[in-house]
């Protein structure tokens, strides 16, 4: 390994470490609570040292969003794609989604906190966040439509309504478990999902 490649490797590792710390901070304090100065203190670096890896605070915030999205895909989306199309895949997506939310009860969910922070703002961060949430909702919609095509769910209802119901359960879970500290919230979300599936199940022939 040449001296140049060693420096590049060290720079990549430093950048990755900064991003991990930034993600932890943003999950707890929100993306707007993320500053170059705060990160520099946490990393025992100078502000210029952090700026060397990220050209601006906005660039840093966007990279944090992308890291969060990548982690979400690795933990929720891609494992679910290994399941059979239709209801098995949709069940897996929701189960792994709940599993991730249970881990985020202590730290916070950037998708949810970001929606609160940027619901009435404009700019690249909001656009990036909307695109990521939209991609996940799109994946849920495709899985739902496949379940309808395979007659695992009724096909005389709107797939968008089913996704809406699922998303509402996750938001309620996060609210009750994180904000209200209510015990049993995870189980209520699971029960709610089963009721959603039951309500959209194909009608049994007489």
Q: Which DSSP state fits 33?
A: G
In a domain, 180, yes or no: yes
Q: How far is residue 27's CA from residue 43's CA, in Å, rounded to a whole number?
A: 17
Number of domains present in the structure of the chain = 1
Please report whether residue 96 resides in a domain.
Answer: yes
In this predicted structure, what is the pLDDT of residue 7? 46
Tokens representing residue 203 in the block: 């009608």
pLDDT value for 3: 42
Look up residue 31 and give its DSSP letter: G
**Cα separation of 76 and 175, whole Å?**
20
Q: What are 133's two structure tokens? A: 């949430």
Q: Which two tokens stand for residue 185?
A: 């919230």
Q: Which domain holds residue 70?
A: 61-199
Cβ-proximal residues to 104 (8 Å cutoff; 6+ apart), any chain: 27, 174, 178
Instruction: Report the predicted TM-score, pTM, of the whole model to 2 decimal places.
Output: 0.87
pLDDT at residue number 6? 52
Whether 156 and 200 have beta carbons less than 8 Å apart is answered as no
Please indicate, yes or no, if residue 13 is contained in any of the structural domains. no
Nearest to 140 by CA among 110, 155, 168, 160: 160
The span from the CA of 152 to the CA of 86, in Å, is: 7
pLDDT means per 10 residues, the chain with 206 residues, are 53 86 88 86 84 84 92 96 97 96 85 86 92 96 97 94 96 92 94 96 75
Whichever domain contains 194, its CATH number is: 1.10.357.10
Which pLDDT score, from 0 to 100, does residue 4 have?
A: 46
Q: What is the CA radius of gyration of the chain?
A: 20
């Amino acid at each position: 390994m040449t001296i140049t490649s060693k420096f590049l490797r060290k720079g990549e590792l430093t950048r990755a470490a900064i991003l991990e710390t930034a993600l932890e901070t943003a999950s707890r304090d929100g993306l707007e609570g993320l500053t170059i100065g705060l990160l520099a203190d946490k990393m025992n670096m100078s502000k210029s040292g952090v700026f060397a890896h990220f050209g601006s605070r906005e660039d840093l915030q966007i990279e944090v969003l992308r890291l969060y999205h990548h982690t979400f895909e690795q933990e929720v989306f891609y494992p679910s794609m290994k399941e059979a199309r239709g209801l098995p895949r949709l069940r897996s997506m929701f189960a792994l989604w709940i599993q991730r939310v249970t881990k985020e009860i202590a730290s916070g969910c950037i998708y949810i906190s970001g929606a609160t922070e940027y619901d009435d703002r404009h700019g690249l961060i909001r656009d990036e966040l909307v695109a990521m949430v939209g991609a996940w909702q799109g994946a849920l919609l495709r899985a739902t439509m496949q379940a309808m095509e395979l007659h695992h769910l009724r096909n005389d209802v709107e797939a968008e309504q089913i996704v809406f119901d699922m998303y509402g359960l996750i938001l309620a879970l996060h609210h009750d478990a994180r904000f209200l500290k209510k015990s049993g919230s995870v189980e209520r979300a699971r029960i709610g999902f089963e009721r959603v599936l039951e309500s959209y199940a194909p009608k049994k022939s007489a």
